[in-house]
Amino acid sequence: MIENKIYFEDIETISRRVRQKKLSPVELTKSLLKRIEQLDPHLNAFIQVMKKDALQQAQILEDEGMAGNWRGLLHGVPIAIKDIFETKGSVTTGGSKLLADWIPSQDATVVHRLKEAGAIIIGKTNLHEFAMGATTENPHYGPTRNPWNLNRIPGGSSGGSAAAVAAGLCYGALGTDTGGSIRLPSAICGIVGLKPTYGRVSRYGCLPLSWSLDHIGPMTRTVKDSAIMLQVLAGADPLDESSSTQPVEPFLDTRLESLKGIRIGICDSYFYDDMDPEMKQIVNHAILELEGLGADIMNVQLEYISEAFTAQRTISMAEGYTFHAAMYAKSPELYGKDLHVRFEKGKSITASEYLHAQQMRKKMIKHVLEQMESCDILVTPTNAIPPFEIGSITAENTVNNIFRLGKTPLGNLLGFPALTVPCGFTDEHLPVGLQLIGKPFAENMLLQVGDLYERSTEWTKAFKRNNILEQCNQKV
Amino acid sequence: MELSAYISQLLEIEESELMVNMEPAFILSFDKEAQA
């Protein structure tokens, strides 16, 4: 018999109980599948639940465990993956009608690494079509709903992954992030999301949105769980020429007890522009808490933000269109309305505009690195305004939504690592996220600071107050 | 099935054209800076 609270346990706890043979991966998987069956008709977090494969994998891992073979911290832990990663023998839709029947013949590198590490792939999560938007209102598979308020968006594009983790339908999920698609839905759904440094995680076997801006990372309920997942995901991959050869250090092997000596940069302009006042107050309070933990807080001035975002839109739209050009020209009816808007803009970008955008990107990276010489990390809001009501946004706004909803896009243009951790709730009981941005390959510092902040607050325990079950029962 | 083969079959587009379109382009790397 699986008790109810187990759905919101962290990976560490589940892993320990599996290793001690106190928890059966098969029973755990069956129990989660039942919960998914009960809740997902209301949330629509999954495009495909991999019942048969998950149970088969759980049995293999249970047998291995009984024989004393333990693969590591993900052994027997059910994980969900965004339906943008290739899965051998299982449909990979990319959230599109175009790929509704595509069955890849291989696993994406990240899927392969998770499986080898003992993770049970429980299902493939819903997303904004081809990850090209921030609302996860998918025209082909329906909208994913926010577990904290079923009438609101979960953010996107990895909205299904965020909702599944927040609703206790899995213990962690994979997301992709081109303008904030891991961090924004994580913040909006009250979980932890990590976009690692560009190149830190192989993208082989992941459908691209924009080669220059795409990143892959974990979405979990605790910072430690993100560290556990990143440990498995990170590292060079000969199949992905953009993957970094930097050595992968042990993440979060030491946990901080104080932030003494850590310099945190705060940038007043841009990050607080057009922000909801209540959410701003919550973020400011979180910064005071970081100071209370011993961090030195200092002001950092970032310039060229507007030019940088123009460059980012140009790169994202041009690269996104290039990948889809032939398919869109042949069968535009297979794409949703908001992708039409995006592609029509992408199509008209000239070569010199694109190259100028890449030049601007380099200039911005250099500028931010210079400004960060005086600090170790930047701390900013993640989500800036409350999530939209489902169905309230027009197709024309899709490209700009990520810039309105959150303060995440800069991290993609820079390619620097960025972590979001929950830092409070609004009066409407909607989660707010705090974003930590580090220098290239400084994931461990982000994880250490985020972990200490998390342990010094109560936000992770808030899942117990998530009334997803009651909300779903009211809708029945 | 490879993505390009699937699309080629579905939409009757030359697979070679799709393969070029799908090839990653213009990639950033921090490796050199990190090693310096």
- Residue A476, pLDDT score: 40
Is A157 one of the catalytic residues?
Answer: yes
Read off the amino acid at residue A210: S
Distance CA A54, CA A122 (A): 5
When CB atoms are compared, the residue of A104, A208, A440 closest to B33 is: A440
Provide the CA A395 distance to its chain's centre, in angstroms: 23
Could you tell me if A127 and A84 are in contact, meaning their C-beta atoms sit under 8 angstroms apart?
yes
pLDDT digits (tens, 9 = 90+) for A137-186: 999 999 999 999 999 999 999 999 999 999 999 999 999 999 999 999 99
Residues of B in contact with A331 (CB under 8 A): 11
- Residue A467, pLDDT score: 66
Residues of B in contact with A198 (CB under 8 A): 28, 30
A294, HSE (Cβ side, Cα atoms, 13 Å): 11
Distance CA A82, CA A63 (A): 28
Taking the C-alpha atoms of A8, A12, A16 and A18 in order, what is their torsion angle to the nearest 10 degrees? 60
Q: Average of pLDDT values for A394-416?
A: 90
Q: C-alpha distances in angstroms, A296 versus A10, A136, A145, A210, A422?
A: 30, 38, 39, 36, 21
pLDDT digits (tens, 9 = 90+) for A262-321: 999 999 889 999 999 999 999 999 999 999 999 999 999 999 999 999 999 999 999 999
Is A181 one of the catalytic residues?
Answer: yes
Rounded to 10 deg, the angle between the A398-405 and A337-347 helix axes is 100
User: Residues of B at the A interface (Cβ-Cβ below 8 Å)?
Assistant: 1-3, 6-7, 10-13, 17-18, 21-22, 24-31, 33-34
Count of C-beta atoms within a 10 Å radius of residue A425: 18
* Of residues A447, A306, A301, A304, the one with CA closest to residue A373: A301
Contact with chain B for residue A411, Cβ under 8 A: no
Contact with chain B for residue A102, Cβ under 8 A: yes
Residues of B in contact with A199 (CB under 8 A): 28-31
Looking at CA atoms only, how far is residue A406 from chain B in angstroms?
24
Distance CA A311, CA A331 (A): 29
Looking at CA atoms only, how far is residue A200 from chain B in angstroms?
10
- The token duo for A45 is 């977090």
Rounded to 10 deg, the angle between the B3-11 and B15-22 helix axes is 130
Could you tell me if A48 and A83 are in contact, meaning their C-beta atoms sit under 8 angstroms apart?
yes
Distance CA A243, CA A249 (A): 16
Tell me the ipTM for this assembly: 0.90
Q: Average of pLDDT values for A355-371?
A: 96
Read off the amino acid at residue A184: L
Measure the CA angle with vertex A233, ends B34 and A249; round to 5°. 45
Lowest mean pLDDT among A230-239, A372-381, A446-455, B13-22: B13-22
- Residue A4, pLDDT score: 67
Distance CA A160, CA A143 (A): 9
Q: Is the pTM of this model over 0.80?
A: yes
Contact with chain B for residue A185, Cβ under 8 A: no
Residues of B in contact with A326 (CB under 8 A): 11, 13, 17-18, 21
pLDDT digits (tens, 9 = 90+) for B11-31: 999 998 888 888 888 778 888
Q: Average of pLDDT values for A99-104?
A: 97
Count of C-beta atoms within a 10 Å radius of residue A331: 16
* Of residues A420, A443, A17, A437, the one with CA closest to residue A221: A420
pLDDT at A1 > cutoff 70 = no
Burial class, A476, CB count within 10 angstroms (exposed 0-12 / middle 13-18 / buried 19+): exposed
Contacts of A290 (CB under 8 A, 6+ apart): A259, A264, A297, A379, A449, A453
Read off the amino acid at residue A469: L
Could you give the 3-state DSSP secondary structure of residue A47?
strand
A442, HSE (Cβ side, Cα atoms, 13 Å): 18
Q: Average of pLDDT values for A256-263?
A: 98
* CB spacing of B26 vs A242 below 8 angstroms: no
* Of residues A413, A160, A170, A453, the one with CA closest to residue A285: A453
Torsional class of A145: left (φ above 0), alpha (ψ -120 to 50), beta (otherwise): beta
pLDDT digits (tens, 9 = 90+) for A48-92: 999 999 999 999 999 999 999 999 999 999 999 999 999 999 999
Strand partners, A79: A121
Distance CA A234, CA A276 (A): 35
* CB spacing of A242 vs B34 below 8 angstroms: no
Read off the amino acid at residue A77: V
When CB atoms are compared, the residue of B1, B10, B27 closest to A105 is: B1
| Cα end-to-end distance, chain B, whole Å | 42
